[in-house]
Amino acid sequence: MDEFSFIDAIKPSYYKQSTLIKGIGDDAAVIRSSANDLVTAVDIFVEGVHFKRETMNAFHIGYRALAANLSDLAAMGADPAFYLVGIVIPKSWSDSELKEIFQGMKELADFYQMDLIGGDTVSGKQLTISITVFGYCQKEKVRFRHTAVQGDVVFVTGTLGDSCAGLHVLSEPGEYKNQSYFIKRHRMPSPCLSFVKELQQIPRVTLNDISDGIANEAIEIAQASDVSIHLEEQKIPVSKEFSQFPKELQHKWKYFGGEDFEILGSVAKEEWPLVKMAADRTNTQVTEVGFVTSTEMDAGNVYVHKQGRKVKLDKNGYTHLK
């Protein structure tokens, strides 16, 4: 199949977004301006680095890649609208597998009324998918990571470490409880878009999506906001059968594993009940996991409180006693 037939095969038969003037079929796509801000990000996924054929089929590769991007939109408080896909295709991938990759993206895109509006397909040695997403956000309701302040409640959606647990289940065959749950969390993560949308009445919420582990994301918020974030070990939410895995792996996956695409946030104490209500309305688990302080000396740091001790958390996965 040549590039043109391939584009024909994945080209949408109609577009859902009313602001789209031109989708696939010219040198570029054209989007009419609207009252909202446009939010955009790109992510690249490489075979052997971000996914393996042994643990993900083509459909899930596409699904998960778009889910990761949508998680970025969720973390900005944006509603997804469009996506562009650049793909590097090695000879070892069949036409039907490639269509499955796009089908995986389409399943998620259709759910969120997103349009595929363009892309580029080229040949190469390593399957590589570059997705650019576009979303809309009401002006002044974009959720940045630099807005956390002292006294905030720190919260997290869902449970952490499940995606890594799922990969472990797929890579190390054995007897596991809740096996299909963990596998699904790895292959088909759910971006927290509906929950984030329900937060719109709250004037200030600081959000980051957990793509690289809560440690990393908390440090990003702490640094951008010039505050310290304190996490309470026993409050970090994990799923029911998470304790079946070795303690060391639990710790690693929970803090540094990432790819759960849950949301880490911080909000003023008085708005915390509103966050819980938003979670209830969208059937989202939300857990208070810590608090924010602000002293000049400590700005940009993240601490885990555990059995009366305070441990500093580092980006790279090491923890130093303090």
Residue 1 binds to a copy of itself (criterion: CB under 8 A): no
**43 labeled binding residue:** yes
Q: Taken in order 246, 251, 252, 258, is the CA torsion positive or negative?
A: positive
Smallest gap, in angstroms, from Cβ of residue 43 to a copy of itself? 5
Beta carbon nearer to a copy of itself, 37 or 241? 37
**43: helix, strand or coil:** strand
Residues listed for the chain: 322
Token pair listed for 267? 């909000």
**259 labeled binding residue:** yes
The one-character DSSP state at 255 is I
Q: Near a copy of itself by CB under 8 A, which window of 80-88, 178-186, 192-200, 273-281? A: 80-88
d(CA 320, CA 30): 51
**151 labeled binding residue:** no
DSSP string of 75-121, one letter each residue: HHTPEEEEEEEEEEE-TTS-HHHHHHHHHHHHHHHHHTT-EEEEEEE
Residue identified by tokens 């690693």 is 252
Q: Please list the residues that pair with 180 across neighbouring strands.
A: none
Beta carbon nearer to a copy of itself, 40 or 282? 40
Tell which one of 61, 85, 231, 236 touches a copy of itself (CB under 8 A): 85
Beta carbon nearer to a copy of itself, 133 or 286? 133
**14 labeled binding residue:** no
Burial annotation 98-125 (CB, 10 A radius, 16+ → b, else e): bbbbbebbbebbeebebbbbbbebeeee
Instruction: Restricting to residues 49-78, name those near a copy of itself by CB under 8 A.
Output: 49-50, 72-73, 75-76, 78
Burial annotation 12-43 (CB, 10 A radius, 16+ → b, else e): eeebebebbeebbeeeebebeeeebbebbbeb
Smallest gap, in angstroms, from Cβ of residue 318 to a copy of itself? 14
**152 labeled binding residue:** no
**311: helix, strand or coil:** strand
Are 215 and 317 spatial neighbours (Cβ–Cβ below 8 Å)? yes
Are 89 and 121 spatial neighbours (Cβ–Cβ below 8 Å)? yes
Instruction: Restricting to residues 158-217, name those near a copy of itself by CB under 8 A.
Output: 207-209
**37 labeled binding residue:** no
Beta carbon nearer to a copy of itself, 9 or 42? 42
Instruction: Restricting to residues 210-269, name those near a copy of itself by CB under 8 A.
Output: 224
Q: Near a copy of itself by CB under 8 A, which window of 9-17, 143-151, 177-185, 289-297? A: 143-151
Q: Please list the residues that pair with 133 across neighbouring strands.
A: 41, 83
**50 labeled binding residue:** yes
Tell which one of 145, 168, 185, 187 touches a copy of itself (CB under 8 A): 145
Instruction: Restricting to residues 30-49, name those near a copy of itself by CB under 8 A.
Output: 30-46, 48-49
| Residues 107-126 as x/- pattern, contact with a copy of itself by CB under 8 A | ----------xxxx-xxxxx
Binding residues for Mg(2+): 27, 43, 72, 120, 209, 212
Residues in contact with a copy of itself by the rule CB under 8 A: 4, 21-22, 25-46, 48-50, 72-73, 75-76, 78, 84-88, 117-120, 122-126, 128, 130, 132-135, 137, 139, 142, 144-146, 207-209, 224, 315
